[in-house]
């Protein structure tokens, strides 16, 4: 919570749930990443928060952009990014979308199988491709395993196939899992990447880039290492596995760039119990999973929740959203301690919500409008 956000909420008093993002925090975060990993290019993950103001700020600062769709590519271009600063980083693309990106000047594409390589070869001849490999994501609060990537042994064949089809097989990518608290998580993946580099070099294909992905965390309820700690660990792992032949590297921070820049203001709609002797209260907010808090699924991301009554005695509460869907429960397995004096109509502030909230907000599910966003 910054003073600027606090003043905005006090002076504007916006109606209904909303997200407020402080650009000063985003600017500080970008500069922190640039200092911690000075030899890596920053490709901001647009999906984390595609607000035009956020994208323009980052474009002006020199950031590149990781895009998951043609729509996101257009957003990055509109913000001032040139095509050479954009990666089509989704491994699951329609061929006509690859062609649309190529027509816009995009030349860097992610793949993780031969079939995707063939689509890129047809729709984007001569483009650069990097192959995503599987990563176990141990320790990550929001794992990204299984759906994306292939085993390292398969990646060799995928990149050979790309080379044969006239594409520029340029590198390897991986993702250690979103909200990764372990700075050493990159070590094993970089060991696999280095082995692929050596194998393909022996076969006449010289890779030159490693996409280190995202994973850099936002502080929620637990302490997290500093970005410079991640930078040191990654630099050490690169030297360990690549020696003096360090490849080009890029990073794709999303949550780590904007997560702590945003606060969601919400309101208590109802407080009740399921039985007279139940020690746990149910607190229903005017925002839930379908209103932007989808990452509370399986209680993976536990946001800090603040109220004006935090100095009062507290008791355990289940926290739920307002929709007529039984899945719209945020925290039940591990209830939150909230003030006993909390009342219907009270305002609550949900911190660390600058990433993956507006983009997860449903369009009028149960008639509730999508999460409004203010960028200051």
Q: Which residues are catalytic?
A: 324
Two tokens, residue 8: 């905005």
- Measure the N-to-C terminal CA separation of the chain; round to a whole number of Å: 13
Two tokens, residue 166: 């006239």
Query: Is residue 264 a contact partner of residue 18, using CB atoms and an 8 Å limit?
Result: yes
Surface-to-core class of residue 57, CB atoms within 10 Å of its CB (0-12 exposed, 13-18 middle, 19+ buried): buried
Specify the residue for token string 């990764």. 180
CA distances from 35 to 178, 213, 228, 229 (A): 21, 17, 8, 11
357 vs 20: CA distance, rounded Å: 11
Task: Specify the pairing of strand 248-251 against strand 209-211.
Answer: parallel
367 vs 376: CA distance, rounded Å: 28
44 vs 355: CA distance, rounded Å: 12
Q: Rounded to the nearest 5°, which phi and psi values hold at 171?
A: 180, -165
Query: Is residue 133 a contact partner of residue 207, using CB atoms and an 8 Å limit?
Result: no
Q: Rounded to the nearest 5°, which phi and psi values hold at 120?
A: -65, -40
Collapse the DSSP code of 216 into the 3-class scheme (helix H, G, I; strand E, B; otherwise coil) and give the result.
coil
């Amino acid at each position: 919570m910054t003073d600027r956000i606090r003043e905005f909420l006090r002076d504007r008093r916006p109606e209904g749930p909303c997200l407020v993002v402080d650009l000063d925090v985003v600017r500080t975060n970008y500069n922190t990443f640039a200092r911690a990993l000075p030899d890596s290019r920053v490709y901001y993950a647009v999906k984390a928060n595609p607000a035009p103001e956020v994208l323009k700020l980052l474009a002006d600062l020199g950031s590149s952009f990781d895009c998951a769709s043609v729509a996101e590519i257009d957003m990055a271009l509109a913000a001032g990014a040139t095509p050479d600063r954009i990666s089509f980083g989704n491994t699951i693309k329609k061929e006509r979308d690859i062609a649309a990106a190529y027509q816009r000047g995009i030349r860097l594409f992610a793949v993780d199988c031969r079939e995707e390589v063939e689509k890129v070869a047809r729709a984007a001849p001569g483009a650069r491709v990097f192959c995503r490999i599987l990563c176990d994501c141990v320790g990550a609060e929001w794992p990204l395993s299984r759906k994306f990537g292939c085993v390292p042994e398969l990646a060799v064949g995928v990149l050979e196939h790309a080379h044969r089809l006239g594409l520029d097989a340029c590198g390897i990518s991986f993702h250690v899992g979103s909200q990764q608290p372990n700075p050493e998580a990159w070590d094993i993946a970089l060991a696999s990447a280095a082995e692929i580099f050596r194998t393909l070099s022996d076969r006449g294909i010289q890779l030159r880039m490693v996409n280190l992905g995202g994973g850099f965390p936002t502080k929620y309820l637990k302490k997290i290492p500093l970005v410079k700690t991640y930078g040191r660990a990654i630099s050490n792992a690169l030297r360990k596995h690549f020696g003096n032949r360090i490849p080009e590297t890029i990073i794709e921070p999303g949550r780590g760039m904007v997560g702590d820049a945003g606060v969601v203001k919400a309101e208590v709609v109802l407080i009740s119990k399921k039985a007279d002797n139940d020690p746990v209260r149910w607190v229903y907010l005017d925002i839930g999973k379908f209103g932007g808090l989808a990452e509370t699924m399986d209680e993976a991301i536990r946001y800090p929740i603040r109220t004006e009554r935090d100095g009062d005695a507290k008791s355990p509460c289940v926290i739920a959203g307002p929709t007529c869907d039984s899945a719209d429960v945020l925290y039940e397995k591990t209830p939150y301690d909230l003030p006993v004096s909390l009342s219907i109509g009270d305002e609550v502030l949900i911190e660390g919500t600058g990433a993956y909230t507006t983009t997860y907000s449903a369009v009028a599910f149960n008639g509730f409008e999508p999460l409004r966003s203010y960028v200051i």
